[in-house]
Structure 1
Amino acid sequence: MIYQLGNLARMLRVQWQPASDLRELQNRKLRSLIHHAYRQVPFYRRLFDSRGLKPEDIRRVGDLSRLPTISKEQIQAAPAEEVMAFGLDRSKCVEVRTSGSTGLPLTLRYRREDDSRLNVSWLRPLFAHGVRPWYRKLEISGPHNLPSGKKWYQHLGIWRREGISIFSSPGEWVKAWRRYRPEILYGYSGSLKLLARHVLDAGLDDIRPRFVFGVSDLADEECRELIQSAFSRTIIDLYGAAEAGCIAWECPRCQGYHINADTVIVEFLRDGRPVPPGSPGRVVVTNLHSYAMPIIRYELGDIGIPGGEKRSCGWGLPLMKVIEGRGDAFIVLPSGRLLSPMFFFGTMKKIKGINQWKVFQSEVDCLKILIVPAKNFSSETIDHLRKRVEENSGEKMGIEVELVENIPGDSSGKVRAVVSQLESPF
């Protein structure tokens, strides 16, 4: 706890530094990680040698482009001893698993001091929004994220939390809330959306958190509106991953997400090159606190937008815009144009008779849309849906509609509204 308090104090102090100082801090941490990875990790030594590079060639963030990006599949295909640092006692490492939303969960290993630093990165946005250490938190999350017991400081009333699985029902989430009465509602955004819909449908008026924080899933416009209506609170979106900790978070004052630049480097790429501010690109991260199992230029599979706006809050942390979804959530039109998943959130909200929906694409000129009908559903709903999609996209496509009773999450529990099986255009 003392070590974590020190990390927290440094993190809260660093965020006020000028952007130039933060860039130099990133460069120093990057040089240290690169030298370590080359000396101690066979996977990265081979990667460097295959490009004719030495650690001295990577001195600042801009030099990272000389290295190729790496994927989850490459890490998984390599033996553990190839991707972990020499001489590391695995029994003293902390194991963290990714959610497995892509069907390929990855086991990561961190030194305890690095794990502590990344855990603290999730506290920065809480403090920024006014959360106090004595506030209680109910967390709706994957079973692998749920607390297995209480830490000693939680017995003193600090950072207390209770957890419940995303695979439980909304009714069970309500019971957990009433039993615990926390100030903070925290969880997968898709699950919070389901809870909000349940609260509204059931006419419940006693679920009133002080704060609502969403993670893991895309916080689309419909999700935000439902949560505002159900809880009278605005959802605060946090963007993170097991591979990098808390990456970015919505600023209470700026129009965008602050990147935790002191713990992670974030690149936005298309066709291997950085995209300009305001343009979507693949999110590639370098975890500056990943010494046991280095994460350098790692493809997360998400699509994000770098921000170029000036910061009005006083923090030096750089800004990015909204995460638009995963690369396989973009629909390819017959003309080759791309539709962001945000297109469907805006289109579907204006069609009456739809309670829940999901879009699949397996062919370039055809969509399949699953619909859970609402009470006011009629045969005109489907006609209206087809017309709105064609008018808003400006192109004709085959649209198959299937009515279903419910739309379950994937194997990780996440509820993905748009999925394309075509090759990612990014």
Structure 2
Amino acid sequence: MFNLFNLTLNLNGFPIKKAQVELEKILAISEDKYQKFIELKKTEIVDYHLENNFFYRKLVGKRNFKNWTDLPVLTKKDLQKPLQERLSNTYTKKSIFINKTSGSSGDPFIFAKDKEAHAITWASIIYRFGWYRIDFNSSYQARFYGIPLDYLGYQKERFKDFLSKRYRFPIFDLSDKILEGVLKKFQTTKFDYINGYTSSIVLFGKYLQTKNIILTDICPTLKVCMVTSEMLFEKDRILLEKYLGVPIVNEYGASELDLIAFQNLQGEWQVNSETLFIEILDENNQPVPYGKEGKIVVTSLFNKAHPFIRYEIGDIGILDERSTSKKPILKKLIGRTNDVAILPSGKKSPGLTFYYVTKSIIEDDGNVKEFIIRQTKLDTFEIDYVSKIELNSNQILEIEKAITNYLEPNLHFIYNRKEVLQRSKRGKLKQFESLLNCDIS
């Protein structure tokens, strides 16, 4: 077999074979020795950056540390300064991998990985996809992602898609006419798996539902679908499993880090403990017990070019009580720390609460395809939605009754029916957003 994907990584200076050997050694470490391995890697990466990274040394304020919890929690705002100021002195811009975060948290920045760290990121991804018999060198991907619309950016992504054995469906227009074309492509192409943004794949699933088509009936080579970047609701998972005809795998990651959690064959959201160390912290940056919610804070154990040590990614989650150092399990991903609704009573509620409640009502009859919610005032919310027919007064009354039950009364809602919902430049759909300039900490 011609391993084009691995060859491309090697040609770009990412030693994938060496990284895969390293990953195999880590995977072979027994449970009783794993905590010691994690502590060693944590100490190594901090010592390296205290010695070689002026930015991190200045942040910590000293050249050594005694307790892990004494180290500062790194925020995205800390990283919004020129990359050159954040690089370790052992690397130059020519010797590293450079990319930009998506900005879905509202705080985009340019980041770097040394090439060995980027290679082990890929080794980790390849390993996890392999759980579902997906081989990046031979399996063909149907990709539901955004794409740059400028000529050079567009051609560059298409070429990368070719090298990576994937066909990209641009997701900025997912009208029925476009989805008809997507369906025809599946009829004529032997796709092995689907990967992409949750909301876009859900729209395709709903289109299949209206046509009463099971995708594997027309594309029998399809094995699995991986959804990413946006929340996957249980109701949507059920719909996708029925109309795509394959298992739906939920992944959670960050471009500046790695896959953070990936659904295993037992249906658990298994945290990546090979290349990352995950903490759940309270508002005072202190660790919380398993089973309690808090801020997700991540340490990259291999990235020597740029420090991601106790890095607050901007999400809220819970680690399962059954977690171990070798196999942490993400029990729940609640949402982003900046997606919090502040109500007139002073109550703070994850914005996704509105989304859950509203979704359960207005999507029951299949009329509403998708929607987003914005908080514009303390007591006022706007709901933009795409539908065949406008919401009627009974539906609106049911929505507002449910929200009163779950949250509090006397909230006001403005409903805007749209032809299409606004997505980010990368095609992501931000499902809840607060426009209030409030401090929620």
- Fold in common (TM above 0.5): yes
Seen in structure 2, the aligned counterparts of structure 1 residues 336 and 229 have a Cα distance that, compared at 3 Å, is farther
**Conserved 8 A contact 1:328-1:424:** no
Q: How far did residue 368 of structure 1 move?
A: 1.8
Q: How far did residue 245 of structure 1 move?
A: 0.9
In structure 1, the partner of 2:35 is 23
Seen in structure 2, the aligned counterparts of structure 1 residues 69 and 120 have a Cα distance that, compared at 3 Å, is same
**Aligned with residue 263 of structure 2, among 250, 260, 269:** 250
**Conserved 8 A contact 1:128-1:252:** yes
In structure 2, the partner of 1:136 is 140
Q: How far did residue 375 of structure 1 move?
A: 4.6
Give the secondary structure class of the aligned counterpart of 1:225.
helix
In structure 1, the partner of 2:385 is 371
Q: How far did residue 13 of structure 1 move?
A: 5.2
Q: 2:395 aligned with 1:384, yes or no?
A: no
**Conserved 8 A contact 1:111-1:291:** yes
In structure 2, the partner of 1:167 is 172
In structure 2, the partner of 1:197 is 206
Amino acid in structure 1 at the alignment position of 2:196: G
CA–CA separation in structure 2 for the residues paired with 1:174 and 1:11:
38
CA–CA separation in structure 1 for the residues paired with 2:266 and 2:25:
18
In structure 2, the partner of 1:355 is 369
Q: How far did residue 26 of structure 1 move?
A: 1.9
In structure 1, the partner of 2:417 is 403
Aligned residue runs from structure 1 range 22-41, under 5 A = 22-41=34-53
Give the secondary structure class of the aligned counterpart of 1:390.
helix
In structure 2, the partner of 1:265 is 277
Normalising by structure 2, report the TM-score: 0.83
What fraction of aligned residue pairs are identical, expressed as a percent?
21
CA–CA separation in structure 1 for the residues paired with 2:379 and 2:223:
46
Q: How far did residue 261 of structure 1 move?
A: 1.2
Deviates more, 1:384-393 or 1:170-179: 170-179
In structure 2, the partner of 1:187 is 196
Seen in structure 2, the aligned counterparts of structure 1 residues 128 and 41 have a Cα distance that, compared at 3 Å, is same
Seen in structure 2, the aligned counterparts of structure 1 residues 126 and 356 have a Cα distance that, compared at 3 Å, is same
**Conserved 8 A contact 2:83-2:110:** no
Q: Deviations over 1:243-302 (max 9, x none)?
A: 211111112215x32111121111212212222322221111111122111211222111
Seen in structure 2, the aligned counterparts of structure 1 residues 377 and 365 have a Cα distance that, compared at 3 Å, is closer
Q: How far did residue 405 of structure 1 move?
A: 2.4
**Conserved 8 A contact 2:390-2:417:** no
Give the secondary structure class of the aligned counterpart of 1:115.
helix
Q: 2:314 aligned with 1:287, yes or no?
A: no
Give the secondary structure class of the aligned counterpart of 1:122.
helix
Seen in structure 2, the aligned counterparts of structure 1 residues 74 and 176 have a Cα distance that, compared at 3 Å, is farther
CA–CA separation in structure 2 for the residues paired with 1:68 and 1:173:
47
Seen in structure 2, the aligned counterparts of structure 1 residues 320 and 362 have a Cα distance that, compared at 3 Å, is same
In structure 2, the partner of 1:298 is 311
Q: 2:339 aligned with 1:325, yes or no?
A: no
In structure 2, the partner of 1:116 is 119
In structure 2, the partner of 1:148 is 159
**Aligned with residue 47 of structure 1, among 59, 67, 71:** 59
Q: Deviations over 1:116-150 (max 9, x none)?
A: 11112212321223434532222222337946347
Aligned length: 407
Amino acid in structure 2 at the alignment position of 1:121: S
Seen in structure 2, the aligned counterparts of structure 1 residues 300 and 111 have a Cα distance that, compared at 3 Å, is same
CA–CA separation in structure 1 for the residues paired with 2:277 and 2:191:
34
Give the secondary structure class of the aligned counterpart of 1:350.
helix
CA–CA separation in structure 1 for the residues paired with 2:106 and 2:159:
25
Seen in structure 2, the aligned counterparts of structure 1 residues 42 and 6 have a Cα distance that, compared at 3 Å, is closer
CA–CA separation in structure 1 for the residues paired with 2:237 and 2:36:
36
Seen in structure 2, the aligned counterparts of structure 1 residues 139 and 354 have a Cα distance that, compared at 3 Å, is closer
Normalising by structure 1, report the TM-score: 0.86
CA–CA separation in structure 1 for the residues paired with 2:123 and 2:171:
23
Seen in structure 2, the aligned counterparts of structure 1 residues 34 and 337 have a Cα distance that, compared at 3 Å, is same
CA–CA separation in structure 1 for the residues paired with 2:382 and 2:108:
27
The runs of 5 or more residues in structure 1 that have no matched partner are none
The runs of 5 or more residues in structure 2 that have no matched partner are 1-5, 149-155
**Aligned with residue 417 of structure 1, among 401, 408, 431:** 431
**Conserved 8 A contact 2:263-2:269:** yes
CA–CA separation in structure 1 for the residues paired with 2:30 and 2:346:
42
Seen in structure 2, the aligned counterparts of structure 1 residues 310 and 294 have a Cα distance that, compared at 3 Å, is closer
Seen in structure 2, the aligned counterparts of structure 1 residues 13 and 160 have a Cα distance that, compared at 3 Å, is farther
CA–CA separation in structure 1 for the residues paired with 2:339 and 2:246:
28
**Conserved 8 A contact 1:266-1:286:** yes
In structure 1, the partner of 2:91 is 88
**Conserved 8 A contact 2:186-2:219:** yes
CA–CA separation in structure 2 for the residues paired with 1:167 and 1:84:
35
In structure 2, the partner of 1:343 is 353
**Aligned with residue 107 of structure 1, among 110, 125, 134:** 110
Amino acid in structure 1 at the alignment position of 2:119: S
Q: Deviations over 1:20-58 (max 9, x none)?
A: 422222222222211221122111111122xxx433x25
